[in-house]
A and B are shown apart, each in its own frame.
Chain A
Amino acid sequence: MRYERPQTIEDAAALLAGPEAKSFVLAGGTDLLVRMQNDAFEADLIVDIKAIDGMDAIAETDDGFVIGAAVPCAALAEHASLTAAWPGVVEGANLIGSTQVQGRCTMVGNLCNASPAADSVPALVAADARVRIVGPAGRREASVLEIPTGPGKTSLAKGEVIEALVLPKRAAGSGDAYLRFIPRTEMDIAVVGVGVNLTVDEAGTVTSARVALGAVAATVLLVQEAADALVGSTLDDAALQALAAACSAAATPIDDKRGTVAFRKHVAGVLARRAAQAAYDRAGGK
């Protein structure tokens, strides 16, 4: 196995596009190094992207917030204007692992590890976040929703590496929230996760919404029917009931020791209601 620490993202992409069959990007390493402990794991090349300029930076630009691929999740909560604009994204990312894991783990790593239960991903999808990708064919952008294609699988081609996440500029009267169910109080993997992002007008009517579910399908789900249930409402009980029904119907979870299908479908609806209420309150809807 070779370890490389390129100075530019183009060099990182060139290394990853090289002849090695099994190449991995190393940012926080909280998934990769765990996999490396397994005797069956094989790697030819590890490309550490942390020496690349800007990888550990959070920038507020005309496009919104640009978050470097190696920004540890602990740094998100320390960024006051990011936390004020996107509290749901930050709270989702901060639920990953322990304090020690937070010091290293990244949202882009959480996305590319492609676990269906990834805690940072539903809020990113609800936020309509995008990723900047650099590869052998140059640069492209994609929505976060397009990246995971199944458990452990992504749509990134060989040689492609995500440089940054982009959270869009916030309209006035917007709020987001992420909630998950776990059987413990902390340090666990989501049985169900729900991200809600919405904007309200001055009368408190929801003018736009996005609702995403985690851990209830092979990939994160963006549920249009759930968003439709909210838009035009003032988050009255009928709208919340319709939201919950849409989320329960959209969930296609597995049955395992951590939750049955029926339980997960029900909880998807319950958490969607609560997350929508939290997002609405944060948006100033009251």
Chain B
Amino acid sequence: MSSIAVSTTINGDDVEYLCQPDETLLDVLRNRLGLTGAKEGCGTGDCGACSVVVDGRLVCSCLVLGAEAEGRSIETIEGMADGSELHPLQRQFIEHAALQCGICTPGFLVAAKALLEQNPNPTETEIRFWLAGNLCRCTGYDKIVRAVQAAAAEMRGEPA
């Protein structure tokens, strides 16, 4: 199989890479670009550990081909913190102990950020439905939901 040359934007930076036609965006991010924040849980779009945002839409990067990224804009967990300044979601996940082993955490953070960008004040039900495609086998989800609520309140400028 011959390689495909791809030009794309990742977290605001222009990026070029070569990939195989059957290679997923997740494999490109992890194995070719060293962006190992997105994780492979299932590889079939069920667990959400590989969540990224492509042209403003939350997707599983295991269900996107690397070749499809041509000309698109991709956001990954690596672009979430502003330098050493954590995003409110990242800080509240730590504050609320919303993680244990951490494999699912990048996916939850990317998904939760996408939610709060389109709905700054989600109900608990809306949070749970939005995050239904992200699986966590450690926390039981409750701490994750509380962390998202706390981050949302903080981002709305409400006192803690």
Contacts and interface: CB of A to CB of B under 8 A. Distances in A.
A99 B111 contact: yes
Chain B: interface secondary structure?
mixed
Interface string B52-72: 001001111011110110100
A101 interface: yes
B43 A74 contact: no
B104 to A, nearest CB: 13
A98 B51 CA distance: 11
A48 B68 contact: yes
A100 B58 contact: yes
B59 A104 contact: yes
A104 B21 contact: no
Contact of B4 (A3, A36, A74, A98): A3
B22 A50 contact: no
Given A99-B130, A187-B132, A3 B65 contact: yes
**Which of B63, B64, B70, B132 has the largest number of chain A CB atoms within 10 A?**
B63
Contacts of A2: 1, 21
6 smallest beta-carbon distances between A and B, as pairs: A98-B133, A103-B57, A3-B21, A33-B63, A103-B59, A100-B60
Interface of B: 1, 4, 21-22, 24, 43-45, 48, 51, 54, 57-60, 62-65, 67-68, 70, 111, 114-115, 129-134
11 contacts: A26-B65, A29-B65, A30-B45, A34-B45, A48-B67, A50-B68, A72-B57, A98-B132, A99-B133, A103-B57, A104-B60
Interface of A: 1-3, 5, 26, 29-30, 33-34, 36-37, 43, 46, 48, 50, 72, 74, 97-101, 103-104, 186-187
Given A29-B68, A46-B21, A104-B57, 14 more contacts: A3-B21, A26-B65, A33-B62, A33-B63, A34-B44, A37-B44, A43-B22, A46-B65, A98-B45, A99-B132, A100-B133, A104-B60, A104-B63, A186-B132
